[in-house]
Amino acid sequence: MSKIGFIGLGIMGRPMAGHLMDAGHELVTFVKRGSLHEDMASKGMKQVESAKAVAEQSDIIITMVPDTPDVEEVLLGEGGVIEGLKPGTLVIDMSSIAPIPTQEMAKRITDAGGEFVDAPVSGGEGGAINAALTIMVGGPEESFKRALPVLEVMGKTITHIGDHGSGQICKVANQIVVALTIEATAEGLLFASKAGADVAKVREALLGGLAQSKILDVHGDRMINRTFDPGFRIRLHQKDLNLALESARSLNLSLPGTANAQQLFQACAANNGADWDHAGIVRALEKLADHEIGS
> Does pTM surpass 0.75?
yes
CATH 1.10.1040.10 fits 169-289, yes or no: yes
Q: Are strands 121-122 and 60-63 parallel, antiparallel or unpaired?
A: unpaired
pLDDT, position 36? 85
Ordered by start, the domain boundaries in the chain are: 3-163, 169-289
DSSP 251: T
DSSP 223: H
pLDDT, position 127? 94
87 phi and psi angles, rounded to 5 deg: -55, 135
Packing angle between helix 68-76 and helix 99-111, nearest 10 degrees? Answer: 10
Q: Are strands 121-122 and 155-162 parallel, antiparallel or unpaired?
A: unpaired
52 is known as an active-site residue: no
Split the chain (295 residues) into runs of 10 and give each run's mean pLDDT. 94 96 96 83 93 98 96 98 98 96 97 98 93 98 98 98 98 97 98 97 98 97 96 94 95 97 98 97 98 89
pLDDT, position 39? 87
* Protein fold of 3-163: Rossmann fold (3.40.50)
pLDDT, position 38? 85
Catalytic residue among 43, 107, 171, 214: 171
- Residue (of 3, 66, 47) closest to 237 by Cα position: 66
